[in-house]
Structure 1
Amino acid sequence: MFASLRSRLYRLGFNCVPAYRGTGGRVTYVAPDWQEIRVKLPLSWRTRNYVGTIFGGSIYAAVDPFYMMMLLKTLGDVYVVWDKEADIRFKKPGQETLYARFRLSDEELEAIRAELAVEGTESIDRHYTVDLVDANGTVHATVRKTIYISTDETKKV
């Protein structure tokens, strides 16, 4: 129960931070193990652009920090995690609320740990993709993030 309460507090925290709040996006779910996060981005006066659809900057900003945050929380303190690169592909104008779902599997986390455990490997780049979809599942935009991950030699036991 404590983990569940903690994840709800993180969700509320995300939604109260002015930098994230300004995107128009709202975190609707944070899994207690940080392996899933869900976000919604409504079309509103705050996110509407000149032609009446969701502003592309809001679409990107609403999904920007999550893979980095999820990896920081799930891998632990002995890893350094940074956003390195991003690419967004707009496929259809957002004329209604859009939703994004971020997931990390146990296999992905183990693959990262194993890759960084190889002698001579100082860092790796991992690529993650998230779709922004409407209520019917139609993809409106796809964001691809490149995340830099390394071990922090000063924190190794």
Structure 2
Amino acid sequence: MSRRTRAALILACATLLVPLTGCSSGHDDNKASPATHSSEPSAKATPTPSTTQPAVQQPPELDAGERLAGRQKATTGNAALAFTKGKKGDALIVAVRCQGAGKIKVAVRSVHISFPLECQAGEVSTTYNQVAVKGVEHGGVVSVEASSAVHWSMTIGRGTPAQEESPTSTAESL
């Protein structure tokens, strides 16, 4: 199963936790835009086992066609990372790699998006989130709240919003 397909399944469950005022398969600036990497609210979240990932010191890589907007090398504790403005219709990609026992909270306050991550001691995991809601084309800041026991790195990117995947096709591919 591909990283993007797993992400769709994970986000299908997470979607129930994030209220939206409207969704659209188009690129209407007043509504959330669905993502191909996942289901609404246009985010992809995929933990990746450490056997296929480099150490946490290396920030996650973006996929082909995605553009760098910010990068943070290995860090512990709380931090904030600014990201550059994108093009109208761009999605914001927030990729976090972490290791160490504990939780971290990642927030893009300008668009009221946040997500928690559970990090494990002795295991490096990477989570990709793609957000395509009104306002993400603007520059801003991603804030991370983490305990000193958790080491993390981050890559922020820009890309074309993904196409919506149906829950049926995702479930069948498992």
What TM-score, normalized by structure 1, do the two folds share?
0.32
- Greater Cα radius of gyration, structure 1 or 2: 1
Report 1 or 2 for greater relative contact order, CA contacts < 8 Å, sequence distance ≥ 6.
2
What TM-score, normalized by structure 2, do the two folds share?
0.30
